[in-house]
Structure 1
Amino acid sequence: MRPAMAPTVSLVISTYNRPQALDRVLASVARQRVLPDQVLVADDGSGLETARVVARWQQGAGLAAGMPSGTGSVSAGGAASGVGAVAGTGSAPATGARVPAAAPATASPLAGRLLHVWQPDEGFRLSAARNRAIREATGELIVFVDGDCLLRPDFVEAHQQVAERGFATAGNRVLLGQAVTADIEAGRQNPLDWSCLRWLMAWRRGDVNHALGLLRLPGQGWRRMSGRPWRHFKGCNMALWRDDLVRLNGFEEEIAGWGFEDTDLILRWFNLGGRLKSGRFATTVLHLWHREAARDAAEQNERRARLAGSRGATAAVRGLAQLSDHDHYAPPGGI
């Protein structure tokens, strides 16, 4: 149940051809103490296996036996309604790991609130994928996470509590190691259920990079950051008000390839007079290990973002307003 006066939340999960990780992330969303009002998978062109994962959660295959404490793979299901509903049949794609079959499950808490917002695979176009999700979002507050970030059960509630008008929220992350990530994706363990002692043991082994990853600190005043601390703002865990995103014209789609679309957004937000609020020790996500993406465009993207910031730009040159009403795409395998 949403706390009184708390904003409605649209949770945007960006993904590209990592279905096992996405399945675990959706399972962590389903376990939220306060469910988001809407969940949008912002898909930058994944294949059929990702579409199947989303469809199964849409249709009603919920928490299953594939992972400890009900965070495993979901059972098979059919097509679902909404943007990007897909059928759960067909052959597996060449890309992406196949999600293991799971035991029959109860109805999904995400049924009726999960949308698959897909675009064709034309290279790394994260800004465009997120803009398409923003277009479909109905929540007052939009929280963005990556499709390989596990959410602790109080994640959505914590973002609601930290959110404040005039501020964007910079969440933080704990990095998980390669070995423990493999165990999580295989359903052998679930760090969301670790005790403090087990967490400290994992830190000493190098499975996590922060000993204090479970720590929660109260208060709001200390979270309000001064100046333009753009380095604190990471795309894997951030939140802005939807109407502020509209004023910014969303993410800059002129930035393609890996990196700095989040920097461009926050610098334009500062130019608009906005401020940044820290979500540390409240909105932490657990970031599964992955190989680094190709960063060929990083230097160019950083230059562009910094230039937009220094010139006082506020609205994206190519963003939400430039999206066509006719460029809605059906994911692989369905309508």
Structure 2
Amino acid sequence: MKISLIITTYNWKEALEAVLESVKRQTQLPDEVVIADDGSTASTRELISQFKKNFPVPLIHSWQEDDGFRAAQSRNKALAKTTGDYIIMIDGDIILSRNFIKTHCLHASPGWFVQGGRAKLNESQTEKILKKLVIPNIFSRGIKNRKNSLSSHFLSKLFSYKSNTAKKTRTCNLAVWKKDIIAINGFDNNFIGWGREDSEFVERLLFSGKNRLYLKFASICFHLHHNENARLQLPENQKILENTIRHKKIKTENGIDYYLAKKTSDTSTK
């Protein structure tokens, strides 16, 4: 099983640096890392170029022009560049515990996708991590929901459960088989602005017959503190989600297929 890790980012290179450092320290590395960049400036590109020089696995920069918050489209573009069988998605402000990739691999199962949690860090602990590039743990100060930083194989087996609902959907810690993503045509590119593109994606996975494992006490990660994004487009995004639920849609008409076709076309013309 080949693992692709996708990291979304937008103009916060200090956080991305800390995230990439946590990837390098994994007990089991992914086979590749793809940065889904939603239009960051040159400083982010320069940071990624520096990391590429000694990164332990291929590091791919997928960039699109800055035209507002387009996380769905950015993820689709990055997904089309992956070569893995199993896709783990995180955000560019998520610090990984050392066994994050390893435990996700242990819970990968055909017909299932995995929703993990995250521990939230306060502002002072976030500043410390960005300055010293350290990885927090359950004993670190400044963790708001400390129980989510506890890693235990026994407790994970006991408390992880089937949860075939889109509630508590977070693409900051989500793992899906690539073939299952392609079967539903990926994320819906019609989502613009913050919110609901991840929930709508999960609803279509569920309508396609896949099961969701809500993973507890495993694949621990830590969410850096930041100000919330503007939610001006949320009402429109909510309408797209509600339409998907009403019609039990499995495939979106405007998804990853465009980027997969473009990739094939680019390859054939070389």
Asked if the contact 1:271/1:313 (under 8 Å) is kept, the reply is yes
Worse-superposed segment, 228-237 or 159-168: 228-237
Show the 5 A alignment for 1:168-317. 168-187=113-132, 190-192=134-136, 194=137, 196=138, 198-199=139-140, 202=141, 207-212=142-147, 213-218=149-154, 220=157, 223-226=160-163, 228-317=164-253
Q: Which amino acid aligns with 1:325?
A: K
- Unmatched tracts of structure 1, length 5 or more: 1-6, 61-107, 329-335
2:258 and 2:56 map into 1 onto residues whose CA distance is 34
What residue number does 1:143 align with?
88
Q: Which amino acid aligns with 2:162?
A: M
* DSSP-derived class of the 1:255 partner: coil
Distance 1:242-1:326 versus aligned 2 partners, 3 A rule:
closer
What residue number does 1:130 align with?
75
> Percent sequence identity over matched residues?
30
Distance 1:281-1:221 versus aligned 2 partners, 3 A rule:
closer
2:158 and 2:241 map into 1 onto residues whose CA distance is 29
Asked if the contact 1:254/1:317 (under 8 Å) is kept, the reply is no
2:263 and 2:27 map into 1 onto residues whose CA distance is 37
What residue number does 1:88 align with?
none
Asked if the contact 1:9/1:141 (under 8 Å) is kept, the reply is yes
Asked if the contact 1:162/1:220 (under 8 Å) is kept, the reply is no
1:232 and 1:265 map into 2 onto residues whose CA distance is 13
1:43 and 1:299 map into 2 onto residues whose CA distance is 25
Distance 1:241-1:326 versus aligned 2 partners, 3 A rule:
closer
What residue number does 1:325 align with?
262
Q: Which has the larger radius of gyration?
A: 1
The Cα shift of 1:305 comes to 1.0
**Higher helix content, 1 or 2:** 2
* DSSP-derived class of the 1:239 partner: strand
The Cα shift of 1:302 comes to 2.1
**28, 39, 55: which one pairs with 1:34?**
28
2:116 and 2:168 map into 1 onto residues whose CA distance is 8
Asked if the contact 1:170/1:276 (under 8 Å) is kept, the reply is yes
The Cα shift of 1:310 comes to 2.4
2:242 and 2:4 map into 1 onto residues whose CA distance is 28
Asked if the contact 2:62/2:77 (under 8 Å) is kept, the reply is yes
Asked if the contact 2:22/2:135 (under 8 Å) is kept, the reply is no
* DSSP-derived class of the 1:230 partner: coil
* DSSP-derived class of the 2:167 partner: helix
* DSSP-derived class of the 2:72 partner: helix
Distance 1:281-1:43 versus aligned 2 partners, 3 A rule:
same
TM-score between the two structures when normalised by the length of structure 2 = 0.92
Q: Runs in 1 of length 4+ with deviation above 4 angstroms?
A: 219-222
Asked if the contact 1:159/1:279 (under 8 Å) is kept, the reply is no
CA RMSD across the alignment: 2.0
The Cα shift of 1:222 comes to 5.4
Q: Deviations over 1:134-185 (max 9, x none)?
A: 1011111000000010001100011101111111110111110111111211
Asked if the contact 1:167/1:274 (under 8 Å) is kept, the reply is yes
Distance 1:284-1:306 versus aligned 2 partners, 3 A rule:
farther
What residue number does 1:23 align with?
17
